[in-house]
Amino acid sequence: MPDLMTARDIESKAFSRGMRGYAMDEVDEFLDRVAEDVQEYSIRCNELARKIDRLEEQIKEYDNLKETLQGTLLMAQKSAEAKEEAAKRQAENTISEAKLRADQIISEAVAVKDRERREIQRLRQLRQEFKAEFRALLSKFSSLADGDEEARPEEDEISR
């Protein structure tokens, strides 16, 4: 890329004089005006270059911020997913433990019911045995009592 002319280059440019050349005052005046315009354009270009640099720096900052926010969002999503998964596992564990405990309670209740049923059967059996023994005892006492009454008249006759 060729070097650009500066306002100083234009101001210091000297032309050779020819015979029917241009009017020197007009050429000098035009060159002064061109030099001023070039100087103004140079200033504007420098300002625009600085503005472009600032904007490019802002773009870099925004890109960095964007990357940071995307990373933060990704971490937040992963964290939320992990927490959701942990909550699901916790819920499943709680449900499993509750079902297991319910099964244990039911098993214990069935075992108690079976023990109570056996105890009731045993007590009914004891009652039947007791009734049978009691009837047998009553029958024996009744027989003894009847035997005493029969034996007493004989005793009464003997004692007379």
pLDDT tens per residue across span 33-50: 888 888 898 899 999 999
Whether residue 134 lies inside any domain: the answer is yes
Rounded to the nearest 10°, the torsion over CA 62, 68, 74, 77 is -100
Q: How many helices (H) and strands (E) does the chain have?
A: 2, 0
Whether residue 90 lies inside any domain: the answer is yes
What is the per-residue pLDDT for 150? 63
Whether residue 45 lies inside any domain: the answer is yes
Which pTM was predicted?
Answer: 0.45
What is the per-residue pLDDT for 35? 86
Whether residue 1 lies inside any domain: the answer is no
Burial class (CB in 10 A: 0-12, 13-18, 19+), 103: exposed
| Helix boundaries (H) for the chain | 7-12, 24-159
Return the structure tokens found at 48: 């625009």
Provide the number of structural domains found in the chain: 1
Q: Residue 80 is part of which domain span?
A: 7-159
Intervals of the chain under pLDDT 50: none
DSSP 28: H
Rounded to the nearest 10°, the torsion over CA 41, 46, 47, 51 is 130
What is the per-residue pLDDT for 155? 56
Whether residue 2 lies inside any domain: the answer is no
What is the per-residue pLDDT for 54? 98
